[in-house]
């Protein structure tokens, strides 16, 4: 008798049932359909193929920032400008949208650009009294610097002879303006007080009010003295000094 065949196919190989083939075919078609939908159809509907990431522009020059945006098909718009002590003129201070945000090509990136440090003009102070000059300096957004006094024959009230920087000069807001004050008549004479151990800011203010010019230098080798303490002086205590002369002080370091 002939032996029964195990598989009913040549070589004894088993074939997958038709229903299994059909299911595998359906599953493959489904996976292929999902891939086509995600990679082709959806980007066409939502425009994801045109989406880019907003670049980090803060701290860049406007020229550089424009080039970066152009490469990503974005438009750079300077929405505002403001003064900045930290960011140089024509550099980006901030941006919107922030770096890393997703946006479509062709959209605008708005930035705030720096106008640099705010500048002010030194006012004309010649002929003004010290009080008038100080008020004008403050109104201009500047700070009073040193006051140097010179004596000239004649009578009259002290008045400003010149400034440094000179009138009309453009300087950063908050910059100091030094005054050269013309004093009339003969300078008064005083005995130099003992300033060692005194608080420097207080002593400086008092000395300048009496018409002295104060110069100082800071030293760290002050033997444990409190910060801003006077540790040396010239002229020495008890010496005669005339109004308008310069007193030199050595001051302990503040840190």
The β-bridge relationship of strands 108-114 and 75-82 is parallel
pLDDT 10s digits, 45-103: 555 568 999 999 999 999 999 999 999 999 999 999 999 999 999 999 999 999 999 99
Written as six digits, the tokens of 16 are: 């997958």
Would you say residue 135 has pLDDT above 80? Answer: yes
pLDDT 10s digits, 10-48: 454 555 566 666 676 776 777 676 666 555 555 555 555
Give percent of the chain with pLDDT exceeding 70: 81
Q: CB atoms < 10 A from the CB of 221, how many?
A: 9
Return mean pLDDT, the chain: 85
Comparing 33 with 239, which gets the higher pLDDT?
A: 239
**Range name among 133-142, 197-206, 217-226 with the lowest pLDDT average:** 217-226
Average pLDDT over residues 158-165: 94
Comparing 185 with 122, which gets the higher pLDDT?
A: 122
DSSP per-residue string spanning 98-151: PTT-EEETT-EEEEEEE--S-EEEPPP-TT--HHHHHHHHHHTT-EEEEEEEEE
């Amino acid at each position: 008798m002939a032996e029964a065949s195990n598989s009913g196919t040549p070589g004894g190989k088993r074939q997958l049932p038709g229903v299994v083939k059909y299911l595998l075919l359906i599953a493959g078609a489904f996976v292929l359909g999902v891939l086509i939908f995600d990679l082709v159809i959806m980007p066409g509907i939502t425009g994801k193929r045109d989406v880019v990431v907003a670049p980090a522009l803060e701290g860049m020059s406007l020229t550089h920032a424009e080039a970066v945006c152009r490469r990503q098909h974005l438009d750079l718009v300077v929405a505002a400008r403001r003064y900045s002590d930290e960011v140089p003129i024509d550099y980006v201070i901030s941006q919107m949208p922030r770096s890393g945000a997703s946006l479509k090509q062709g959209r605008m990136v708005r930035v705030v650009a720096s106008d640099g440090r705010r500048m002010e003009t030194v006012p004309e102070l010649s002929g003004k009294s010290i009080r008038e000059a100080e008020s004008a300096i403050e109104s201009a957004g500047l700070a009073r610097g040193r006051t140097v006094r010179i004596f000239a024959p004649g009578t009259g009230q002290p008045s400003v002879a010149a400034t440094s920087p000179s009138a009309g000069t453009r300087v950063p807001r908050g910059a100091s303006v030094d005054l050269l004050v013309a004093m009339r008549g003969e300078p008064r004479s005083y005995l130099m007080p003992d300033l060692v151990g005194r608080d420097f800011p207080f002593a400086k203010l008092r000395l300048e009010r009496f018409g002295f010019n104060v110069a100082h230098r800071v030293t760290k080798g002050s033997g444990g003295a409190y910060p801003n303490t006077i540790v040396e002086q010239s002229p020495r205590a008890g010496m005669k000094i005339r109004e308008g002369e310069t007193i030199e002080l050595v001051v302990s370091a503040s840190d």
